[in-house]
Chains A and B, each alone.
Chain A
Amino acid sequence: MTATKLGGPVAPVRPAPAGDPGGGLAGRTVKIVLLGLTVAIAVWAAFPLIENEMWTGLAILLATTAGLLYLYLTPRHIPLKYLAPGTVLLLLFQVFPVLYTASTAFTNFGDGHRGSKQEAVVAIQTASVTQVPGSRQYALTVATTGDPASGPLVFLVTDPVTRQVSAGDADGLAAVPPGDVTVGSTGRVTAADGYTVLTAGQASLRSAEITALAVPTAAGAIRSSGLSRAYEGRAGRAYDEGCDCIRDTATGRTWTADENVGAFVGADGDRLAQGWKVGVGFGNFTRVLTDSAIAGPFFRTLVWNVAFAVASTGGTFVLGLLLAMALHSPRVRGRLTYRVLLVLPYAMPSFAMLLVWRDMFNTDFGLINGLFGSDVDWFGGSASARLAVILVQLWLGYPYMFLVATGALQAIPRELSEASRIDGASAWGGFRRITLPLLMVALTPLLISSFAFNFNNFNAIYLTTEGAPFPADNPANGATDLLITYTYRIAFGGGGAQYGYAAAISIFIFLIVAVVSAVSFRRTRHLEEVHS
């Protein structure tokens, strides 16, 4: 089958030279090998999908492979041949995660709202299991299906009367065939096929997980009592289908299911912590705009965020271009040495240097105060903290601009500036009228990307000031916070993960950056025409 597919390009049917995809024997061989590899990878990837009966995944895999084979065997669709490799990867690892994230913006997905309602009910019932007089006792053996230190835990419980061994995890209990296990005199399992029995030492290291594990059963759940005994307790809270509510068997209190918020709500508005995932429409979006505790800081942060992105991008660009211009002359001696030393900041790992800069700005034993003999609490005041983070960005970012500006300058034919000089233009005039416009053709898209990158430059803030200083009345929103760090703190920090809400804010951020970029993009159309 493979042979017929690969046989395609060997006998080209089209005489038109522009349509011949191969071009030389070497090119054709490389192409055959690459297509063969594609088929091989597809076959390798197909087996696990078939085993797990994931037919949708298999269909996508087959369609993609067939599409790629067609694309590279037909003489048509030339642009697509060049775009396909990047596009496939882009779709898989960037577009898909982004769309997935965006879709959670319309849900309450987060801590306490992860699974389905059914799972929430099971979790509530299992968590409320307590030992009551007459609870059935089991001999317990803690085992795992994986690595003793980190593999998923399994309870092997032995019925004291029948000596039947069952294996249970958070999904439920299943009997183990007697032939597969060796049961000791105490009723504890000493060995079992497919499981690794944890030693006392290994088990005690994971005692918190063992205490937390509850195996749901029809009557309630099996929980551990120490490391060698387990009991089947009764659920203190049970789901009642008639009223669609959770009832506490001891007190008789009820919590009714509310499908709008995805939680069981009591008469007094009290919610059970374990809820389920529901769609909330535009709820997350309106919360950003209407919740006064969020909207005010949001717009204040937005203004600083834009200022930070503009200052970082503009500052690094001006400094980088100035340097590139200064060194773009054969008359400067030691240009190579300059260049090597000047890009050193870029060679240093940025995340580590951000942490180093943070320590250099330290008030008491920081290098900056030490060098200048000053005593400034850099991250204590809004203005100095903002100045500090922009200075750090300047240090980190100018070598990049220097490199690309140097590259762009070298790509501009020297004849152009020489010609303008002969025509009587001044050095500055030549730069402004000839060099700069040409540079901008290549660099404008980069500036837009740099702006977008700095707009969301999480590390620049998170690894230095962490948003500080914070106003006394609002510990959630600091003076140097960018929208992204602010979002991160609200959504992931402190009160538990709220992915749905975080996704909604990130869509706002995305829209802001996208609009700014789209407007700038219109200008590049204009620039592109300068050259062509």
Chain B
Amino acid sequence: MTRWIQQVGWRHLVGVLVLAFALVPIVFVVSAAFNPLGTLSSSELVPTGASFGNFTRLFSDTAFGRWFLNSAIIASVSSIASVFISALAAYAFSRRRFRGRRVGLLSVLLIQMFPQFLAIVAIFLIFSAVTDLWPAIGFNTSWGLILLYLGGALGVNTWLMKGFFDTLPRELDESATVDGATHAQVFFRILLPLVAPILAVTALLAFIGTINEFLIANVFLTDAGSKTLPVGLYGLVAGERNANFGMFCAGTLLTAIPTVLVFQLLQRYITDGLTAGAVKG
């Protein structure tokens, strides 16, 4: 028994304690979303009643469906593209030795430390010009926002992936090269499948980061029809905080759905032992 506590029991203890911490705010949001009164002051941890009133109001009184679609498209496209872009860069940084490698790595790290939102004035001025020239990628378009988000693709994800490329044994690509594989084949056929778990993790992180992005989207998307979930939901409680709280929580829950779905989808890649097999060659 003591042995069980030492080896397994403490694991459950840690898990349960953190679980309680994790779930209290979420339960609160759930009960507020189903609260028939829909106000902040009447919301409790344990639901006092159940009604879908907040959800139906959300769809009838606001353009929630449209926001949802916009967010899903923007977050999916930009997270997939950014994971691919940073995987390419991570391969170069991890496997290739070239002039300016360290400088490049350091610059990628440094550039993202500039408080991005202070550059928002500059971004606004730049995209004002872009909107005049190419309306298809200007303000109030998903493509413009996706491009803007992809500007940051080389940031933290490259570092994360480079770290994982570094942990893969070099002998793998060396032997493939000896067998006559080109650098592209080594990357796409050998290394990319091996880093699938971390691709899944980064894709998830990028998806979550994008679907939550508020500051830039708020400046970029002003048309009611082009708004994303955060911009639209924030508008709900910007003025009428107490009265719209139920609707806000309902929207918050629905916003979490795509993220949970993506996580479930990627869950099978985030499982044990994928690279353990690779080490055996």
User: Residues of A at under 8 Å CB distance from B?
Assistant: 17-18, 20-24, 27, 45, 48-49, 52, 54, 78-80, 82-83, 85-87, 89-90, 92-98, 100-101, 104, 319, 322-323, 326-327, 329-332, 336, 338, 340-353, 355-357, 359-360, 365, 367, 370-371, 395, 398-400, 403-404, 406-408, 410-415, 438, 441-446, 448-449, 452-453, 455-456, 458-459, 484, 487, 499, 502-503, 506, 509-510, 513-514, 517-518, 521, 528, 531-532
B65 at the interface (CB under 8 A from A): no
What CA separation (Å) do A96 and B129 show in the bound complex?
Answer: 14
Partner of A86 from B158, B215, B233, B267 at Cβ < 8 Å: B158
Please judge, given known A-B contacts A349-B230, A506-B114, whether A411 and B167 are in contact too, CB under 8 Å. Answer: yes
Q: What is the CA–CA distance of A215 and B8 in the complex, to the nearest angstrom?
A: 79
Neighbouring B residues of A101 by C-beta, 8 Å: 114, 118-119, 121-122
Flag if B26 contacts A18 (CB, 8 Å): no
12 more A-B residue pairs beyond the given contacts A100-B125, A449-B155, with a C-beta to C-beta distance below 8 A: A20-B182, A49-B133, A90-B151, A98-B122, A100-B126, A101-B121, A104-B121, A345-B26, A353-B29, A355-B237, A395-B21, A517-B113
Q: Is the CB of A327 within 8 A of B23?
A: no
**CB-CB nearest in chain A for B168:** A411
Asked if B85 is an interface residue, CB under 8 A from chain A, the answer is: yes
Interface CB pairs A-B, < 8 A, 28:
A17-B182, A21-B184, A23-B181, A23-B185, A79-B96, A83-B89, A85-B88, A90-B154, A101-B119, A104-B122, A332-B8, A332-B15, A341-B19, A344-B260, A348-B255, A348-B259, A349-B230, A351-B234, A367-B25, A370-B45, A407-B201, A411-B198, A415-B276, A445-B156, A446-B160, A487-B118, A513-B113, A517-B109
Check B205 for interface membership: any CB of A closer than 8 A.
yes
> A47 to chain B: closest CB distance in Å?
9
On whether A89 and B167 interact (CB within 8 A), knowing A45-B134, A503-B118, A521-B109, the answer reads no
Q: Which of A52, A93, A340, A412 has the most CB of B within 10 A?
A: A93
Would A411 and B197 count as touching, CB distance under 8 A? yes
Complex interface: chain B residues within 8 A of A350 (CB): 212
Taking Cβ atoms with an 8 Å cutoff, the residues of B that contact A are: 7-8, 10-12, 14-15, 18-19, 21-26, 28-29, 40-41, 44-45, 85-86, 88-89, 91-92, 96, 98, 101, 104, 106, 108-119, 121-123, 125-126, 132-134, 147-148, 150-156, 158-160, 162-164, 166-167, 170, 177, 180-185, 187-188, 197-198, 201, 204-205, 208, 211-212, 214-215, 229-230, 233-234, 237, 245, 248-249, 251-252, 255-256, 259-260, 263-264, 267, 270-276, 279
A446 and B18 in contact (CB under 8 A), knowing A93-B148, A414-B276?
A: no
Assuming the contacts A97-B126, A456-B115, A513-B113, asked whether A86 and B86 have C-beta atoms less than 8 A apart, the reply is yes
CA A453 – CA B224 in complex, angstroms?
Answer: 30
Contact B122 A100 (CB under 8 A): yes
A101 to B117, CA, bound (A): 10
Q: Which of A82, A347, A395, A406 is the one whose CB lies under 8 Å from B25?
A: A395
B185 touches A24 (CB 8 A): yes
Q: How far, in whole Å, are A326 and B233 apart by their CA atoms in the complex? A: 37
> Roughly how many angstroms separate A238 CA and B158 CA in the complex, as a whole number?
58
B127 to chain A, nearest CB (A): 10
Taken together as a complex, chains A and B put the C-alpha atoms of A341 and B130 apart, in Å, by 43
Contacts of B245 in A (CB 8 A): 359
Q: Which residues of B contact A104 (CB under 8 A)?
A: 121-122
**Given contacts A86-B154, A94-B111, is CB(A342)–CB(B18) below 8 Å?**
yes
Distance in angstroms between the alpha carbons of A101 and B124 in the assembled complex = 11
Q: If the complex has contacts A24-B185, A499-B121, are A82 and B89 also in contact, measured as CB distance less than 8 A?
A: yes
* A residues less than 8 Å from B29 (CB atoms): 348, 353, 356
Which of B15, B132, B183 touches A323 (beta carbons < 8 Å)?
B15
- B259 engages A452 (CB within 8 Å): no
**A406 CA / B200 CA spacing, docked (Å):** 13
| Complex CA distance for A285 and B162, rounded to whole angstroms | 37
Top 3 closest pairs, chain A to chain B, by CB? A93-B151, A442-B163, A82-B92
Cβ–Cβ contact A413 & B26, under 8 A: no
Contacting residues, chain B, for A446 (C-beta < 8 A): 156, 159-160, 163
Are the C-beta atoms of B126 and A96 separated by less than 8 Å? yes
Most buried by B among A94, A330, A350, A413: A94
How long is the Cα–Cα vector from A54 to B40 in the complex, in angstroms? 54
- B229 contacts across to A, CB distance below 8 A: 349
Separation in Å of the A454 CB from the closest CB of chain B? 11
Contact of B22 with A445 in the complex, beta carbons under 8 Å: no
Closest to A404 in B: B201
- Establish whether residues A89 and B8, one from each chain, have CB atoms under 8 Å apart when the complex forms: no
Chain B residues contacting A351 (CB-CB under 8 Å) are 212, 214, 230, 234
The answer for the CA separation of A400 and B209 in the assembled complex, in Å, is 11
Separation in Å of the A75 CB from the closest CB of chain B? 10
B101 to chain A, nearest CB (A): 8
Contacts of B205 in A (CB 8 A): 400, 403
Using CB atoms, name the residue of chain A closest to B104.
Answer: A83
